[in-house]
Amino acid sequence: MTSGAEVPSGHGTPVGQEAQASYYKDLVDPDWSGLPGRRRPILLVHGPEGYGKSHFVRHKAEELERLGIPYAHVDLADIRYHSSVPAVFAAIASHREKGLARALRYYGRLRFPRLWICLITIRLDIGPDAVPGEYGDLMGGEERAHAQITELVDQVWPGGMGRLGRLLGNAGDLIPPAELIGADPLPVDITKWVTAVTGMGVRALEGVFEWMRTQGQGGQAREQVADSLYHLWLQAREPDAVDTVSRVSNREKVGRFLSEALFTDLRHAARRVGYQPTPVLLLDNADRGVGPVLLRSLAEAPAPFGRAPLFGGVGFPEPLTVVATTVDTVPPERLYESTRQYMLFSPLAPLGRRDIGELISRARSRTKGGGHVSNEIVDLLGDFTGGHPGATARLVDAWVAVRGSSLHDALSHRPVDPATGLESPVTVEELMLTTALGVDPDLLDQRLRDALVTCSAAKDSDAGLWLNRSGEFTERVEEERLLEHPLWDRTDPEAVTVLRRLLSRRLARRPEGSPGNWDAVHRRLADHYQSGRSADRNSAEHEIYHRLCAGQPTRVAWHFQGWLRAPDIGGEEWVRLLRSVTTAPLRVRPSSPLLDAWTNTWQAHAVSEGTEGSEETEILLKLITARHILSDPDLFRSGALHSVCHMALNDLAGRAPRGAAHIFEEAARHLRLVARFGVKA
């Protein structure tokens, strides 16, 4: 799944992510400093699906690769990390692919002896017959495991390694054992464990065991180390068990232990690492799998107080920047309330008009184009997507590819892969829908897919859920599943604009006679608002919006005729209602010339509803029909229809008992558009 905006890669900051890039730049600076005794906070980039979170970390990974800075890039949506914290740390410390331990020219090789010993101990294969002999028969399974781990510690204790220790000296092999690398965790038998641990060398082992003494219990050093490793091994075997006293799960305990091992290893990195940009840990989709546990563990790992820093900065001993991304299913400030002081929350926002203009400019430059980007084009694309970053980026690229011929052409465009020269099997519209949903629609089950398409027509969640409960047009689905997709997020209405527009286009494609077709759904919603069942104070406005969608412009005209003289509605509110209602989307675009299509439509409805004798109703019918056609972004340039609207509004302003100035101003706006686009239809 790709949640990030497909903004083209390059050395520049992705559009709309300047704030996140600025925070990131500050954190990787070796001279960054903050409160003494605290390490760099975790940068948590968050936002809705498709807002460019994954693209942000991919962009940083490409940048780090290009600059030769160590980084680990882990996608926590991967099934390998669904429940295994150790698997994540194995990937972080790997010397292959996207791990921190790769040898790099300016950094050498980062080494993680504490973390690697912890990880191979977790995978240590200790069976029920671990302790042979007469005493072994008297022990329980856990006691046997403790005894075996104690015996292993005795075998590798640095002071007792004799000739082996002298041969190895300080030149240990600190590349992680093969058992730690790969998709499938492999058990580590006793022989492999001893070989891997002794292979680290005496000096490294002394440092590791000195640290482990502080983690365990017991009177003697070896007892403390054995106790520390035993409890780690035991907790990893039963990760879901919860401590009855602390109420902390074993999974979290293991996460904290491994986090502290990681930071302690970095504290002992080569001094030169501290004078360069820090290594970076990139954790994508940290709301998935063990992500929340991992982030809390990294944030809670204690920083060493009272020690002189070895690297640049005051009181920040470990050279590491952690960047994570999450979806706003739960507000991150609430999810990480206990660790928020160690985290930096940075929300991604919808793209503004300036951002969209920059996207268009970049897309044009890639195709060797250029020139001024008109505000009209920026507004057209921004209005359709609501500023949704991922969908906007796709639409902008398609708009440039079809040379701005029309929005419909851009949505129908099939991008060409620059590497293969092959045309995509799916359209930009389908790619945008996947981006906005965060999942390929074809991967959703049929019931949910149909319900999303049907309920997207509703303007608020109450009406959408009512439509779902009725089961009239689609099979009813669980409300929780429907609400997982942001069709009516009142806190962030811009984020849902593009999703509803794209689903609405699917609704429009349903055959006219089929259950749940366009007209049937919108008429049912109009009846819902008319019935008084809705508690929405804008029920009348929503009703006529759906009447217009369903092809009932005469009923809409009657409403506006009544509102024109209503004592509680003046000219300003009347114009607001006109603008709101006439944004109703067309089901199909007119096939004939626009002026002919407009004439045929209003005349047909005037005859069928018997309004020929009412001059005011006829004027309103002409206005509503023209505005409805102009709501299509590809048809907005019809100067002839703007002229119709100008004349109708001028006439209606003279009939308004109060607030006529607002109606005259709306008429003047249409006149300015006539001057801009000419008088052609």
pLDDT tens string 254-298? 999 999 999 999 988 888 888 899 999 999 999 999 999 999 999
**pLDDT digits over 415-438, tens only?**
988 778 889 999 999 999 998 888
**pLDDT value at position 169?**
46
**pLDDT value at position 418?**
79
**pLDDT digits over 476-506, tens only?**
999 988 888 888 876 656 568 899 999 999 9
pTM score, whole prediction: 0.82
Where is pLDDT greater, at 429 or 175?
Answer: 429
Contact 448, 482 (CB under 8 A): yes
Q: Give the H or E element holding residue 583.
A: none
**pLDDT value at position 180?**
64
* Cα gap 225→208, rounded to integer Å: 9
Q: What is the mean pLDDT of residues 501-516?
A: 92
Q: Which two tokens stand for residue 29?
A: 């600076």
Contact 143, 173 (CB under 8 A): no
- Say how many residues make up the chain: 681
**Residue 449: what residue type?**
R
Report whether pLDDT(165) > 70. no
**pLDDT value at position 495?**
62
Considering 123-137, 340-354, 363-377, the range whose residues carry the highest mean pLDDT is 340-354
Report whether pLDDT(407) > 90. yes
For Cα atoms 195, 197, 201, give the angle at the middle one, nearest 5 degrees.
105
Contact 454, 473 (CB under 8 A): yes
Give residue 167's pLDDT band: very low, low, confident or very high (50, 70, 90).
very low
Q: What is the mean pLDDT of residues 128-152?
A: 65
**pLDDT value at position 171?**
46
Contact 489, 556 (CB under 8 A): no
Q: CB under 8 Å to 353, separation ≥6 — which residues?
A: 375, 378, 379, 382
* Cα gap 302→299, rounded to integer Å: 8
Least-confidence region, from 21-30, 37-46, 404-413, 608-617: 608-617
Task: Give the number of other CB atoms < 10 A from CB of residue 448.
Answer: 18
Can you spell out the DSSP letters for 467-482?
Answer: HHHHTSSS----HHHH
Report whether pLDDT(538) > 50. yes
Report whether pLDDT(197) > 90. no
Give residue 135's pLDDT band: very low, low, confident or very high (50, 70, 90).
very low
Report whether pLDDT(128) > 60. no
Q: Where does 17-61 show beta strands of DSSP type E?
A: 42-47
Can you spell out the DSSP letters for 528-561?
Answer: HHHTT----TTHHHHHHHHHHHTT-HHHHHHHHH
Burial class (CB within 10 angstroms; exposed 0-12, middle 13-18, buried 19+) of 641: buried
**pLDDT digits over 301-317, tens only?**
888 764 444 444 334 56
**pLDDT value at position 182?**
57
Q: Please report how the helices 113-122 and 202-213 are oriented relative to each other, as an axis angle in degrees rounded to 10.
A: 70
Backbone phi, psi, residue 71, to 5°: -155, 155
SS3 (DSSP) at 297: helix
* Cα gap 79→99, rounded to integer Å: 18
Give residue 103's pLDDT band: very low, low, confident or very high (50, 70, 90).
confident
Contact 603, 615 (CB under 8 A): no
Where is pLDDT greater, at 592 or 221?
Answer: 221
**pLDDT value at position 173?**
54
**pLDDT value at position 278?**
93
* Cα gap 592→610, rounded to integer Å: 25
Q: Give the H or E element holding residue 414.
A: none
The chain-wide mean pLDDT, for the chain, equals 85
